[in-house]
Structure 1
Amino acid sequence: MRILSAEETAALLPYQALAATIAQVLADHAQGRVSAPERLVMPLPGGATLLLMPAADPTLTITKLVTVHPHARPSVRGEVWVMRTDSGERLALLEGSVVTARRTAAVSLLAAQTLAPNPSGPLLIIGAGTQGKSHLEAFQEGLGTDKVYIYSRSREHAEALASYARQRRMLGQAVGSLEPALDEASLIVCATTSPTPVLLRAPDRAFIAAVGAYRPEMAEVGPEVVRQAALYVDTLEGARAEAGDLLQAGVDWNQVQPLARALHQPKPGGRVLFKSVGHALWDLAAARLAISSLGIQ
């Protein structure tokens, strides 16, 4: 069995290839070739959470074990076990926080490629943590994004991520207020753990990826922004249980579409909100890509 470090795991999961693999997993799931039950979510003392996320196809079976401690650093720790479906032989142990960061950003990338009215415009990232960084990388790699604004409650963290963007030859700028950036950005990523909305307005033709809130009582996007957008989610079952942004806005779930359906429809016009709460399907996609890259038969 291969035990892979964070660096080794990241090298096996380039964003564009991972987005394409996620699209293939969605197609296989629609055909009944992939199974993934709802994840087990268990609250822990002190506001922490334990998550167990299994999935399987005819070749690979995976289980991701994750703990989320919002006040710790790092706040997310986890592992992804990869094994053969037919025998249970353990093939690899992937670094879970890297898988989570990269597959979440790859899902947002796939959604932006599919749904964004103006995918070539400037990017605004709200939140300068791990997910903010991974989305910056993914959108640069997959969309060619070359200009990014960074907003964070920590100016130091915003400046650090903007500096990282400049190291990647992007125009990166930390901003102390959302307003000037909102007038220009056509791509917005909300990647905070804020329990209350931080995005209270958005341009009419913006694509918004909201990935930070993961409990019903959490919301990053204000209800008016939600109600005035075409609504898409990574999976309906997960969003109905955990997408506080949508639940608190009181959305009509008949108007919310899963990403799998959107892949086969014309691109919508106007503002688009894509809400992601995570799913084991995306971890299975990461495992497929990693095992293929390792050359394990």
Structure 2
Amino acid sequence: MPVTSSLLSAEQTANRLPYAALTENIARLLRDPSVQVPPRMVLPLAGGGSLFAMPAADHQVAVTKLIIFTPANAGTPRATIQGDVVVFDVATGERRLVLDGPTVTARRTAAVSLLAAQRLAPSAEGPLLIVGAGVQGKAHLEAFAEGLGIREVLIASRSASSADALAQHARSLGLKASVAQDANAALADCPLAVTCTPAGGAVLGNMPRQDGFISAVGAFTPHMTELEPGLCRHFAEHGAVFLDTADARHEAGDLLQAGLDVTRFATLADVMTRTIERPAGPVLFKSCGWAGWDLAAARTALAR
């Protein structure tokens, strides 16, 4: 009998990607030698947008994420990321699932940050500072609350209404939440921080706490940045810098624009497969995205 494929809505996709299972599948994928992930194709579009085609496969599942990133949609009712993740059966070639692309992107990115924080953060108790109150801000809030058990969050955003809405969502989850008017000032009170902005310019520049951990996810091209160069150099000189994948070595605009030798930084796969102890000083985790994370999401969704 042919395999019946399902076109899942954003809500249905989210229901198939609980953070605990998704984080576990990401960790498992990093140890799987059958995984193949070629470089993603990025086609620049008029108006500053980009079309992304991101394939990945293992021995059983093949996926392609096809999404459009439209930064001009920030602050409007339209999403900045739109598209789908198509999941195929390798043995038969049949389509198994079509997942909502923005939901997959948000949840797997937050799960990658969560895994990095679980393995690398010097202090994982919070409070958590979230810079950027959009889709990624919400996903990271939920992932860190579920996976690390944080109880307090501070939210900074250019949009006061977005910050207020995310703070209210945090309170609905039982968290203590407040809006930070100055993200740099709030950094002194927060061992954990996530930057998930449209990356139109640096949003953090103050030096981190000695036990600080920042996951920077908003910038994913050499020309995008969320962190001041001096902050990146501080992590490299007085703490530790980790990358989500080796592809970040030519995509991490924050680090490249700081003039750092990005080739010397370990990746999350190195953390999962080698004996790398939790750093004693401040940690910067730079995430640029990878189709392998989408494959892990597809594995998670199929299992459920």
Q: What is the TM-score of this pair, normalised by structure 1?
A: 0.95
Q: Which residue of 1 aligns with 2:9?
A: 5
Post-superposition Cα deviations, 1:35-77, rounded to whole Å, max 9, x if no partner, equal 0100000001110100000011111000100100111221100
Question: SS in structure 2 opposite 1:105?
Answer: helix
Q: Distance in 2 between matches of 1:92 and 1:161?
A: 30
Q: CA shift at 1:253, angstroms?
A: 2.5
Aligned mate of 1:165, from 170, 185, 188:
170
Q: Which residue of 1 aligns with 2:259?
A: 250
Q: Any gaps of 5 or more consecutive residues in structure 1?
A: none
Question: SS in structure 2 opposite 1:216?
Answer: coil
Q: Distance in 2 between matches of 1:101 and 1:259?
A: 18
Q: Which residue of 2 aligns with 1:290?
A: 301
Letter aligned with residue 182 of structure 1: L
Q: Distance in 1 between matches of 2:249 and 2:65?
A: 21
Post-superposition Cα deviations, 1:202-242, rounded to whole Å, max 9, x if no partner, equal 222211000001221111011111112111011112x1221
Q: Which residue of 2 aligns with 1:177?
A: 182
RMSD: 1.0
Letter aligned with residue 251 of structure 2: E
The answer on 1:236 being equivalent to 2:246 is yes
Q: How do residues 106-125 of structure 1 correspond to structure 2 at under 5 angstroms?
A: 106-125=111-130
Q: Distance in 2 between matches of 1:218 and 1:150?
A: 22
Q: CA shift at 1:275, angstroms?
A: 0.6
Q: Distance in 1 between matches of 2:66 and 2:250?
A: 19
Contact 2:70/2:80, CA 8 A, preserved across alignment: yes
Q: Which residue of 2 aligns with 1:17?
A: 21
Q: Distance in 2 between matches of 1:82 and 1:254?
A: 32
Q: Which residue of 2 aligns with 1:260?
A: 269
The answer on 1:131 being equivalent to 2:101 is no
Letter aligned with residue 255 of structure 2: L
Q: CA shift at 1:93, angstroms?
A: 0.5
Q: Distance in 1 between matches of 2:168 and 2:126?
A: 20
Question: SS in structure 1 opposite 2:174?
Answer: coil
Letter aligned with residue 284 of structure 1: L
Q: CA shift at 1:84, angstroms?
A: 0.5
Q: CA shift at 1:195, angstroms?
A: 2.3
Letter aligned with residue 249 of structure 1: A
Q: How many residues align?
A: 289
Contact 2:195/2:217, CA 8 A, preserved across alignment: yes
Displacement over 6 Å in runs of 4+: none
Aligned mate of 1:216, from 215, 222, 225:
222
Q: CA shift at 1:179, angstroms?
A: 4.3
Aligned mate of 1:101, from 102, 106, 111:
106
Q: Distance in 2 between matches of 1:158 and 1:223?
A: 26
Q: CA shift at 1:273, angstroms?
A: 0.5
Q: CA shift at 1:194, angstroms?
A: 2.8
Q: Distance in 2 between matches of 1:246 and 1:233?
A: 10
Contact 1:55/1:63, CA 8 A, preserved across alignment: yes
Q: Which residue of 2 aligns with 1:186?
A: 191
Q: Distance in 2 between matches of 1:50 and 1:196?
A: 21
Q: Which residue of 2 aligns with 1:35?
A: 36
Q: What is the TM-score of this pair, normalised by structure 2?
A: 0.93
